[in-house]
Structure 1
């Protein structure tokens, strides 16, 4: 066991997060920590790392066990280093040794004959190698590349990056530290699909244990082999992925419910017997015996699947025409960065489009162009009778921070009464005095629910949804999927949640080389299609490279054949032979001298490697002077060797061409 809980209870004031919970993390486990919003998943991670202290029980952590904890609060840290330096801070020991080496180098510039400094420097070089110092920059660059960073930005300050990119840098650092236990709180929230896929491949082969808090069901299904469910202040453990957990949890609740009902039937039967015979003297003893058995009975608790249910119903008022929106020759650039170039596409009635791809390719920009909130070149035309609603990715862009919930709903201009707005907000779990809260005090998940409520009340027949599942728990995501599948209008979605996309979209758009590439079908079919395209593209590039090489070689051969051949100059063969023999003797002499000097150099270095020599300063200085003399002579002989060798090759070529 690396870490875990034994009968742990933790309370915030009068509210219990967990009671008498036992959970042990074993080496090599990949665990998904799940639960509805507000059940305390992040709190449990903080208990594991010691940020919170348990109210009761024991939180266990092995003395030599290292724990890495990645969470959203880290983003606010003030860091002035470059992103490469931040990632390389994972090698703290090697970085400290490197700093000491630099300091020693400065001292050796003025005290080159100090034996203690030289000895310390030699030992530090060994320690630096053992600590991975020579590999740390390469490894940091490799991880940053995998998480979507280009080489050109490695030396840019960390502070210049947005929260999403900062989270990637911190994730890179955490991965490089390679702790025994890796705790990841919503690691995919700020990652695009290519980066999520890279992270999956990395974590599958990670040698330590991994605990993941995530609302990404697709990610959990591929990543974890065990689920710990925070439910009713208890930790329930399931061996399997998320899909197995969902089915097994429902089965456990069903079995417990049946056991409860059977026990209740038995209790009612026994109570009827007692009621019938307790007044009869001959049966009184039997009745008392039954009563005692019932008192000692281990009662099964009634259980129902408790979960917060958001009631979503996307209504449509008007039926639009056949065409929702047409894009013709749309171009969009930011300075030298070109996102769209003469792109054309059409959205038809009934289309449910997923706009996917890597970050920075222009997905959100294209969505804003369709919504009419982003300037561009080319044309964008609405179809007949289109009523649109735009759910923005960043809630701060679309919500008035000083409005309360009713005031914010009124900005939708749906013409509803305050009572109707209260009823709708109640469907999104805002009851009673919650509607008087200001937007600025709401959590990310609460803001997302308000924005969804505004989208629903609009009765739009065309929805534009930018990351609608961010901050929603998995059950709420499933409810949103169910509602969108019943929705009679058209929609276009930007999302990195593959579970969500695979169950809502029937068309997939990807921006490739500034154009919109379209695929109609399921998500699994899209993935296979894309893999096929990638293979075909790689084969095409390889063939083009091969053909270009053949063409270049052919042209070079043709040019060589067609080039006029110069007349060969007259060569006195006897003179060349004589000079060649003379030069060969000179070269052999230089080569022998070079070998002798190399042997002398190696012998002196061997003497200097003996620690005992440093106690005899006179001998040490003599050896250092002799070493300098030999190395100077060796440098001179090496130059003579190069000159003689070149001359010898020239004479040899003349003999061959004569």
Structure 2
């Protein structure tokens, strides 16, 4: 065990952040720390880091434990040194040894004593043990993985913007290789290729990793545990974010069912007591029932889930079939060419995600589509197109002396105050927050106000540049739901892969100055990219390897339709007429068919077992005995897990049979 939080309580003034909470962090943990905005996730990381003292409980760490903490406060760091030098400060001990070796080398030119030679040999050995000879190469490798070019490495740290500075500091932290690496919203500062690089790096990281992130796609790929900070308690789940959602729903259902059944049991006992407490012959039984109720461990009612506030778009008028045509577009910034004689067309109903690395011109292209960026070529707007453009620079259009609610009222959207306040609630402005002046808001809060204004604009064509920045998971999901029902068209720039996967029906990418279009979802796009990479890879087995068919359709980027199987039946071995019989293949097919039939029987048995346990949990009497209830609940959870496991095996065997049959 690396760190043990045992029954800790921490307060900020009168506000309790955690109360009697426990958490054990062990080597190999990949933990997603989640919770609503403002519940205290970052505070909990600071408690682990030793920055805050708890009022109750204990925080125990193994001796000489190293902790790396990536957070927004790191931006206070300033220097004019190159980013390579900043990254290399991760090797502080090796850098000191390098200086010592240089000093001793100079001394040896004039004084070659035995003691000095021994010291020189010892320091060389220590420098090599710390991998000092590779520290420059390793630092450059990590910085380039996080999106810096080789030419950038010698540029001063002070020349870079906040987001790029955070990448340098993340690189430094990664290179330090602490025992526990704590990352507070690491993907906020990264583009898609850098996020993918970070995922690959962390998958092979030797220490424990704790991640606070609103990027559920990142959490799904990175974590094997979820810790939820909810109502001052830490709730532990095994698996990634998707597993957490499924398990949490199951827990809530079981708890609610247990609560309802226990309440029915209590009502029955209370009726019995009320009816017979005055009768001498039944008084003793009534007294026993009262004692049972007094000793009963009460099941708490499930807290009602937060109400789903709907974000609704309204479209004022229907546009023509084509919303915007770009012809022969070229755009340069100095010697850097963004677009070179590029063309594209946006049609009614298109929901386009513009993806790729930072610096490729995504936001520039968005401004060209909006008509606010000068360029060479022709931009032709469509008929009846009403455009709403959300981007960070749109914050300048906010009226600083207006209250948040008034800012939305002045858009003439036709919505009443209740509707506007409901919308602002989706963007994390609740209660009296709506009366705050724009002037005092943080950059993230202003961005959320600007996004809310875009939504109520009644536009039929929306351009959204990183709309999910500064939103929590619930708000992102509400925005996804709204865009799914939006009758207009849109182009979004986003590094949030889950958001893109849920909203876009086309993918655009700027490659070699051209706009490349893929007609399909992000998941289909990823699958197509993998097939393309496999087609371009050298065939296995050298010259004798078979040439694959994946490269035959490279000109057609439309994804292949996925087969849908509603009813699964084991294929029957039937060799083609006049074809030679492959006895080994036939044996394997028969083996798989036998396993398929066994799994079918096992599935039926497990389903029956699950139904029996559900019926058992539905019996009010079980809640009068805590041990019986816990045993039944544990058995039910195990049955669900076994059912999921066998179902997965069943699906895998079925797929094998389908492949063999083909």
- Name the TM-score, length of structure 2 as normaliser: 0.78
User: C-alpha distance in 1, partners of 2:28/2:189?
Assistant: 26
User: C-alpha distance in 2, partners of 1:78/1:370?
Assistant: 37
Counterparts of 1:79-478 in structure 2, within 5 Å, are 79-109=79-109, 111-307=110-306, 309-393=308-392, 396-410=395-409, 412-414=411-413, 421-422=420-421, 424-426=423-425, 428-443=427-442, 446-478=445-477
Give the structure 2 partner of residue 490 of structure 1.
489
Change in 2 beyond 3 A, CA 1:417/1:521: closer
Structure 1 alignment gaps of length 5 or more = 541-658
Post-superposition Cα deviations, 1:397-446, rounded to whole Å, max 9, x if no partner, equal 45444432134325535366667644543554534422221234335554
Post-superposition Cα deviations, 1:592-644, rounded to whole Å, max 9, x if no partner, equal xxxxxxxxxxxxxxxxxxxxxxxxxxxxxxxxxxxxxxxxxxxxxxxxxxxxx
Q: Is the 8 A contact 1:391 1:464 kept in 2?
A: yes
SS in 2 for 1:282: coil
Counterparts of 1:590-605 in structure 2, within 5 Å, are none
Shift of 1:147: 1.2
Give the structure 1 partner of residue 480 of structure 2.
481
Q: Is the 8 A contact 2:388 2:457 kept in 1?
A: yes
Change in 2 beyond 3 A, CA 1:127/1:366: same
Counterparts of 1:553-572 in structure 2, within 5 Å, are none
Change in 2 beyond 3 A, CA 1:426/1:48: closer
Change in 2 beyond 3 A, CA 1:536/1:296: closer
Aligned length: 539
User: C-alpha distance in 2, partners of 1:223/1:402?
Assistant: 43
Post-superposition Cα deviations, 1:358-416, rounded to whole Å, max 9, x if no partner, equal 11100011111111222211122221111111111467445444432134325535366
Change in 2 beyond 3 A, CA 1:444/1:290: farther
Shift of 1:159: 1.2
Change in 2 beyond 3 A, CA 1:181/1:341: same
SS in 2 for 1:134: helix
Change in 2 beyond 3 A, CA 1:418/1:273: closer
Change in 2 beyond 3 A, CA 1:170/1:27: same
Shift of 1:302: 0.7
- Name the TM-score, length of structure 1 as normaliser: 0.78
Q: Is the 8 A contact 1:46 1:52 kept in 2?
A: yes
Give the structure 2 partner of residue 39 of structure 1.
39
Structure number with greater Rg is 1
Q: Is the 8 A contact 1:393 1:468 kept in 2?
A: no
Change in 2 beyond 3 A, CA 1:368/1:61: same
Shift of 1:280: 2.1
Shift of 1:121: 2.5
Relative to structure 2, which stretch is displaced further, 65-74 or 274-283? 274-283
User: C-alpha distance in 1, partners of 2:409/2:224?
Assistant: 46
Give the structure 2 partner of residue 500 of structure 1.
499
Give the structure 2 partner of residue 574 of structure 1.
none
Relative to structure 2, which stretch is displaced further, 158-167 or 95-104? 95-104
Structure 2 alignment gaps of length 5 or more = 540-662
User: C-alpha distance in 2, partners of 1:190/1:395?
Assistant: 20
Shift of 1:64: 2.1
Shift of 1:8: 0.9
Change in 2 beyond 3 A, CA 1:116/1:399: farther
User: C-alpha distance in 2, partners of 1:100/1:506?
Assistant: 60
Root-mean-square deviation (Å)? 2.1
Q: Is the 8 A contact 1:388 1:464 kept in 2?
A: yes
